[in-house]
Amino acid sequence: MWGKDFALVKAAHSTTDKESLSHNLLGQRLGRKGRDTRERILAATEKLLAGPPETAISLSAVAREASLGMTTLYLYFSDLPELLLAVLDPIMASAENSYVGHLRMHWPDDSLTENCLKFVEAFHAFWVRHARILHLRNNYADNNDERMRAYRISSSQPMITLLIKQMESDLPPGRSPVSAMATVLMTGIERTITVATDAYFQRLMTTDPTIHVHNLLVAEARILELGLRDGRATSRRGSAST
Amino acid sequence: MWGKDFALVKAAHSTTDKESLSHNLLGQRLGRKGRDTRERILAATEKLLAGPPETAISLSAVAREASLGMTTLYLYFSDLPELLLAVLDPIMASAENSYVGHLRMHWPDDSLTENCLKFVEAFHAFWVRHARILHLRNNYADNNDERMRAYRISSSQPMITLLIKQMESDLPPGRSPVSAMATVLMTGIERTITVATDAYFQRLMTTDPTIHVHNLLVAEARILELGLRDGRATSRRGSAST
């Protein structure tokens, strides 16, 4: 189910990366002034995103913040999701150093506990840093915005592939039990972290927020560990019998 | 974090159950005709919900379907979430027989595999039956509708408590590791089933939908089993040391 979509995402990304950075939406090549204006729009959006949770995020709020007219804004971004995707690009690029890179290393059996916790904590810290825009991305995705959905999948897909590798499976990502286990583990981790970084739950946990969130992260890390150990056992039984 | 909210939900529920069934929103007692009109509104809503996924669900669509004016509709339901909550009431009452009841029985160690799978499959079947309204509920909840959020929590909370019991813990639901494990397990199961019953993913899995969803349910059941076994081991170590 993820495979097909991933191809779609790759295509979407290369468009964002190359064309939209050098041309405006009328197809005009961006000169220095144009690039400056684009940067100003992105900076204004980031400023609004960093504000208190009730700050409205809309194209008109961004235009106001950047002191630009709507007509100018529309030359660069045709709607809010498109603008948010441009803000997301450098954030998702930083995911590699924040948590993806750690998952890329092979975690030995005897240090699986610490590595799982370190990974879950790093993933959570990344979400805490970018909570507002990641929740917006997921809301758009859940409400059928195809670009945001593809973008969200593109950030999970490599992690599922890496989890399959952590299970020492040499099967390609697909319909194998190990692949289903990796998908379900990743889905659970993402959801727990989404809930734990939600502004509403932040408000609920007023008595001692840190300790409680930490309990959930420890439990999530424990499930990851149990799932990985189980996947490794399956993979090793598979190799032993061939 | 769930505890406080649960009290809130209980209060919200008793209001729905008693007052709104016998009075309209002007506080007038509902006679037979009034009850018939209310039923007609609920039946029209259910009909729309059972339609194809692109069917618009709005108060005006419901009024049209029920051949009623908006003024009449507003005598019974002040907005769409309130109407959806009234439709949800009998559905959530049927959850007991669909999947909650199964979780209420103690699952012995040697049949944990089958029981976990049976539970996850039953939970999924319930979602398949009521996919549209459950997704609407979750969308409203994720977009900060307090009533829907409370309602969603009220359907998870008893399951988390039952999972804690399955782990043979005699600790009250709270900040214990077993409680965090139960919360995280339930969060993962709900999310996987939410994704698996999403109209978009249904479309993606056109080649062989059943087999693939089944793989995910088997993996989710396996994680539940691993989590429960781990929780039981923790509880038993706790009892042995006291």
In terms of CA atoms, which chain A residue is nearest residue B180?
A: A216
Closest CA to A181 of A212, A202, A207, A160: A160
Is the predicted pLDDT of residue B54 greater than 80, yes or no? Answer: yes
- Candidates A132, A142, A153, A184: best to mutate against B (most CBs of B within 10 A) is A184
User: With an 8 Å Cβ cutoff, are A200 and B149 in contact?
Assistant: yes
Say if residues A50 and A87 touch (Cβ distance below 8 Å).
no
The ipTM assigned to this model is: 0.84
What is the structure's pLDDT at B20?
Answer: 57
Asked if B98 and B77 sit in the same domain, the reply is no
- Work out the burial of residue B210: count CB atoms within 10 Å of its CB; fewer than 13 is exposed, 13-18 middle, 19 or more buried: exposed
User: With an 8 Å Cβ cutoff, are A192 and B184 in contact?
Assistant: yes
Please measure the distance between the N-terminal and C-terminal CA atoms of chain A and give it in whole angstroms: 28
How close B207 gets to chain A, by Cα (Å)? 10
Report chain B's mean pLDDT, rounded to a whole number: 85
Could you tell me which residue, B17 or B102, shows the higher pLDDT? B102
**Could you tell me which residues of chain B have a Cβ less than 8 Å from any Cβ in chain A?**
1, 4-5, 138-139, 142-144, 149, 175, 177, 179-181, 183-185, 187-188, 190-192, 195, 200-201, 204-205, 211-212, 215-216, 218-220, 222-223, 226-227, 230
Asked if A166 and A212 sit in the same domain, the reply is yes
User: With an 8 Å Cβ cutoff, are B183 and A216 in contact?
Assistant: yes
Is the predicted pLDDT of residue B209 greater than 70, yes or no? Answer: no
Is the predicted pLDDT of residue B210 greater than 60, yes or no? Answer: no
> pLDDT band for position B33 (50/70/90)?
confident
Asked if B226 and B126 sit in the same domain, the reply is yes
Comparing CB atoms, the residue among A177, A187, A227 nearest residue B218 is A177
What is the rounded average pLDDT of the residues B41-70? 93
Where does B120-190 show beta strands of DSSP type E? none
| Dihedral angle over CA of B174, B164, B186, A111, nearest 10 | 90
Residues of chain A with pLDDT under 70: 1-21, 171-175, 203-211, 240-242
Asked if B104 and B14 sit in the same domain, the reply is no
What is the structure's pLDDT at A225?
Answer: 98
Asked if A143 and A208 sit in the same domain, the reply is yes
Comparing CB atoms, the residue among A191, A200, A227 nearest residue B191 is A191
In this complex, how many residue pairs, one in chain A and one in chain B, have their CB atoms less than 8 Å apart?
A: 101
- Candidates A2, A186, A191: best to mutate against B (most CBs of B within 10 A) is A191
What is the structure's pLDDT at A239?
Answer: 72
User: With an 8 Å Cβ cutoff, are B175 and A212 in contact?
Assistant: yes
3 state SS of B29: strand
Contacts of A188 in chain B (CB under 8 A): 184, 187-188, 191-192, 223
Asked if B203 and B98 sit in the same domain, the reply is yes
3 state SS of A4: helix
Comparing CB atoms, the residue among B5, B177, B204 nearest residue A219 is B177
Asked if A234 and A139 sit in the same domain, the reply is yes
User: With an 8 Å Cβ cutoff, are A4 and B204 in contact?
Assistant: yes
What is the structure's pLDDT at B175?
Answer: 67
Beta partners for B23? B29
User: With an 8 Å Cβ cutoff, are B177 and A218 in contact?
Assistant: yes
> pLDDT band for position B15 (50/70/90)?
very low
The residue from B65, B86, B107 where one domain ends is: B86
Asked if A118 and A152 sit in the same domain, the reply is yes
Q: B145-190, pLDDT tens digit by residue? A: 889 988 888 888 899 999 999 998 876 666 688 889 999 999 999 9
Asked if A15 and A80 sit in the same domain, the reply is yes
Cα–Cα separations (whole angstroms), residue A79 to A47, A230, B30, B208, B239? 18, 45, 47, 36, 59
What is the rounded average pLDDT of the residues B9-32? 62
* Residue B145 phi, psi (nearest 5): -80, 115
Is the predicted pLDDT of residue B129 greater than 70, yes or no? Answer: yes
Its domain, for residue B149, covers: 94-240
Asked if A63 and A142 sit in the same domain, the reply is no
Work out the percent of chain B whose per-residue pLDDT is above 70. Answer: 83
The residue from A58, A86, A114 where one domain ends is: A86
Contacts of A211 in chain B (CB under 8 A): 175
Report the CATH number at residue B134: 1.10.357
Asked if B45 and B79 sit in the same domain, the reply is yes
Could you tell me which residue, B226 or B235, shows the higher pLDDT? B226
What is the structure's pLDDT at A242?
Answer: 53
The residue from A86, A112, A146 where one domain ends is: A86
In terms of CA atoms, which chain A residue is nearest residue B209?
A: A1
Asked if A105 and A223 sit in the same domain, the reply is yes
How close B119 gets to chain A, by Cα (Å)? 16
Tokens linked to A125: 């810290």
> For chain B, how many structural domains are there in total?
2
Q: How many CB atoms lie within 10 A of CB B222?
A: 23
Between B25-29, B42-46, B230-234, the lowest mean confidence (pLDDT) is in: B25-29
